[in-house]
Amino acid sequence: MAKPEPSLFEAMQIQARACAALGSRIHETVLLALADNLATRGIIHELTKDLDLRPGRDAVSLRIVGAAHREVLAGRAPTLAAHYPSAGGTPGPTLVEDFLATLDSNRDAIVDGLHRTVQTNEVGRTTMLVAGLAHFGRTHDVDAFHLREVGSSSGLNLLFDRFWFDNAGNTFGNPESKVRFEADAWAEPTIDIAGCPTVASRAGCDIAPLDVRDPERQLTLLSFVWPDQRQRFERLHAALDIATTDPAYNPPSQADAAEWIDDQLDNMVDEPTVVFHSIVWQYFSQDTKDRFRDALRRHAQRRRAPLAWLRMEPAGDAPDLRITTWRNGTLVEDDRALATSSYHGIGARRI
C-alpha cells in the first residue's frame, strides 16, 4: 500500500532531515524554519495556500528553496547571497530572516518557481550507471549498446562516457575530463567497473526537459543544487561545459516515460539496449509505472539481444542499483541488486 501523502508541514520536516543526512546544514535550517512559518500562517502559507500540488511527491519544499537559490545565482537576492557558499557567502545568524525576506521581496519569482518541476540532473549518479553498465557488459558479453534514459532532466548523465571514473581498482571514461569520480566517490566493497561497453546511441526523455545550451536553463538546473555543497556545484558546472561543446549532447525529448520508451523500443534495432532511470520513479503516476513495465516486458519478449532495465531508486535510507535483464525473449536477471550509494551517487559500493 502506498504511503499517504504528507502535509506540507510534514514534507518540509522530512526534507529538512534528508538535507541534514546528506550534508546541507543551510537547507536543514531553512526548511525547519519554513515549516514553523507555515504553522504560524506566515509567508509560506500565503504562497502555497492555493497551490494545487502534492507536498511530498511534487517536492514543494525543494521548489521553494530552489526558487530562492535561483534568485541568488541570478544576482537578484544579494542579502541572501551573503549566506550562500555557491555565491561566495558564508551562513550567518540572519540566514532564516534573510531567506524569508527574499521570499517576500522576490515574490513573483518564487511563485514562478513553485510551478517549476524540480530538476536535479545529479551527475554523481553516473557512478551507479557505470557500475550497472559494467555488470551488463561482462555478464552478457556486450561490447556496444544503446542507452535510453527516462526522467533524464537535461540529459547530462547520458554523457557519462565523457566523465572519468577511477575507483583504485578499475578506470573508465575520459582521463582528461573535468568531471571526475576518484577516491572520494567510492566505498568498500569495491565495485568492479571493468568491461563497461561503449555507447552505440543515446537518447532520453523527461516530462519537463531542460536544454542546457540555454543559459536560463542552466541557471534553473544549478538552482536545485544545494548551496553549501560546492563539490556538486563544481561537477555540475564541468558537466555543463561538456554538454555545451560536445556534439554528442542532445536535450531530452519532452514525453511521458511509458509512451516514449514504448516508441523507442518499437523503432530500435534488435541490439543490446539498457533502459535507465535514477531517483525519478517516485514522481511517476501508478498508471505510468504500469505502462512502463508492460512496455519493457512486451518488447523484451520479441527481442533476441539483451535488454536491461537498470535503475537507481530509493531503498530506505539510501538508494540501490537494480537490474532486470531479458535475453532471447527470456527473463535472465530478475530485480538483482548490484550496488548502493548516497542519493547523490557518492560512496558507491558493491552489494
Q: Write the pLDDT tens digit of every residue in 141-191.
A: 999 999 999 999 999 999 999 999 999 889 999 999 999 999 999 999 999
58-79: average pLDDT: 97
Residue 182's pLDDT is 96
The 3 state secondary structure assigned to the chain is: CCCCCCCHHHHHHHHHHHHHHCCCHHHHHHHHHHHHHHHCCCHHHHHHCCCCCCCCCCCHHHHHHHHHHHHHHCCCCHHHHCCCHHHCCCCCCCHHHHHHHHHHHCHHHHHHHHCCCCCCCCHHHHHHHHHHHHHHHHHHCCCEEEEEEECCCCCHHHHHHHCEEECCCCEEECCCCCCEECHHHECCCCCCCCCCCEEEEEEEEECCCCCCCCHHHHHHHHHCCCCCCHHHHHHHHHHHHHHCCCCCCCCCEECCHHHHHHHHHHCCCCCCEEEEEECCHHHCCHHHHHHHHHHHHHHHHHCCCCEEEEEEEEECCEEEEEEEEEECCEEEEEEEEEEECCCCCCCEEEC
How much is the average pLDDT of 291-302? Answer: 98
Report percent pLDDT > 90 for the chain.
94
Mean pLDDT, to the nearest integer, of 30-58? 96
Domains, the chain, in order of start with CATH, read 8-114 (no CATH), 123-209+247-350 (3.40.50)
At residue 1, the pLDDT reads 52
Q: What is the pTM of this model?
A: 0.90
pLDDT at residue 133, as a whole number: 98
pLDDT at 2: 60
pLDDT of residue 236 exceeding 90, the answer is yes
Question: Residue 120's pLDDT is what?
Answer: 82
Across the range 118-145, mean pLDDT stands at: 96
pLDDT of residue 117: 86
